């Protein structure tokens, strides 16, 4: 799984280097596709439940599952969430990040930083002897203390020989609930955080999830193994 996740991290790094005003999200899709091939991996999302692309590219008030489009051209001040996964030698890796396009507002920058930091808090809670919802609680308490809100309709997940395995990993909840965490489990932890309200809706394309109030949203994800010596972030470059 480390090898799958390193491929994911490397492809995301190349995509990141190509995020600038004037790039379309379809340009990023093509880059991801090419970089995936170079690594002899298969894109995990393309064909999954009929999803047609390698990347999810969600701009501004899009939360997750934004579909790459030639018509979606990035402008300075936008924020973009890129979610990407691969299948390599029988195992999946999955990761996501939100990036600023050029200079963004202080509020947008704070949203991005807070979401990234909430994932780090969640990772610290992914340890043997803890409970699943310790991860959920870590995200929610960190984010809400800072005045942002947690998306509830989408969750993290177990990952391994399948992209989505049990258990679901919500980003909200009280600590000490759910299964006990054990060494050997691997979880994709993925906080999705809004500046405004937590409500989201799916557009008529059947995929793109947006905030109901139009506020900005950010998303970070890592594939994390629970080990006897603590959390191992498999998708950290
Ligand atoms: N990172 C997302 C997830 O873990 C990506 C899935 S998008 C889909 O569920 F297109 F594959 F559905
Ligand atoms: Co995921």
Domain locations along the chain: 2-233
Which ligand 1 atom minimizes the distance to the CA of 157?
Answer: 4
Residue 40 phi, psi (nearest 5): 55, 30
Burial class (CB in 10 A: 0-12, 13-18, 19+), 70: exposed
Which ligand 1 atom minimizes the distance to the CA of 65?
Answer: 7
C-alpha of residue 159 to centroid of ligand 1, in Å: 11
To 10 degrees, the CA torsion angle through 40, 37, 42, 25?
Answer: 150
C-alpha of residue 69 to centroid of ligand 2, in Å: 21
Predicted pLDDT of residue 178: 98
- Ligand closest to Cα of 66 equals 1
Predicted pLDDT of residue 192: 99
Contact 32, 42 (CB under 8 A): no
Contact 149, 194 (CB under 8 A): yes
Smallest CA-to-CA distance from 53 within 23, 22, 10, 85 is with: 85
* Residue nearest atom 11 of ligand 1, based on CA coordinates: 45
Distance in angstroms (rounded) separating the CA atoms of residues 20 and 74:
7
Q: What tokens were used for 166? A: 């049990």
Burial class (CB in 10 A: 0-12, 13-18, 19+), 129: exposed
Predicted pLDDT of residue 59: 99
Which ligand 1 atom minimizes the distance to the CA of 154?
Answer: 9
Ligand 1 neighbours by CB, cut-off 6 Å: 45, 48-49, 51, 56, 65, 83, 85, 94, 96, 157, 188, 221
Q: What is the mean pLDDT of each run of 10 residues along the chain (237 residues)?
A: 98 98 98 98 98 98 98 98 99 99 98 99 98 99 98 98 98 98 98 98 98 99 98 97
Indicate the CATH number of 2-233 among 3.90.230.10, 3.30.70.980, 3.30.230.70, 3.40.800.20.
Answer: 3.90.230.10
Predicted pLDDT of residue 237: 87
- What pLDDT digit, counting tens, does each position of 63-114 carry? 999 999 999 999 999 999 999 999 999 999 999 999 999 999 999 999 999 9
C-alpha of residue 81 to centroid of ligand 2, in Å: 13
């Amino acid at each position: 799984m480390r090898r799958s996740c390193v491929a994911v991290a490397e492809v995301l790094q190349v995509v990141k280097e190509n995020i600038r005003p004037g790039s379309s999200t379809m340009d990023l899709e093509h880059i991801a596709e090419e970089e995936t091939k170079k690594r002899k991996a298969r894109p995990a999302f393309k064909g999954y439940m009929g999803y047609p692309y390698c990347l999810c590219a969600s701009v501004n008030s899009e939360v997750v599952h934004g579909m790459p489009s030639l018509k979606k051209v990035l402008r300075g001040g936008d924020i973009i969430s890129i979610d990407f996964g691969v299948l390599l030698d029988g195992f999946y890796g999955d990761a996501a990040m939100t990036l600023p396009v050029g200079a963004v507002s202080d509020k947008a920058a704070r949203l991005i930083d807070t979401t990234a930091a909430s994932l780090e808090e969640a990772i610290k809670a992914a340890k043997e002897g803890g409970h699943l919802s310790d991860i959920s609680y870590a995200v929610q308490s960190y984010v809400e203390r800072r005045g942002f809100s947690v998306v509830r309709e989408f969750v993290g997940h177990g990952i391994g020989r399948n992209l989505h395995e049990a258990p679901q990993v919500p980003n909200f909840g009280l600590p000490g609930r759910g299964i006990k965490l054990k060494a050997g489990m691997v979880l994709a932890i993925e906080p999705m955080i809004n500046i405004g309200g937590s409500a989201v809706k799916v557009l008529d394309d059947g995929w793109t999830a947006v905030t109901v109030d139009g506020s900005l949203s950010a998303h970070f994800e890592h594939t994390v193994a629970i080990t006897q010596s603590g959390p191992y972030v498999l998708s950290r470059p």
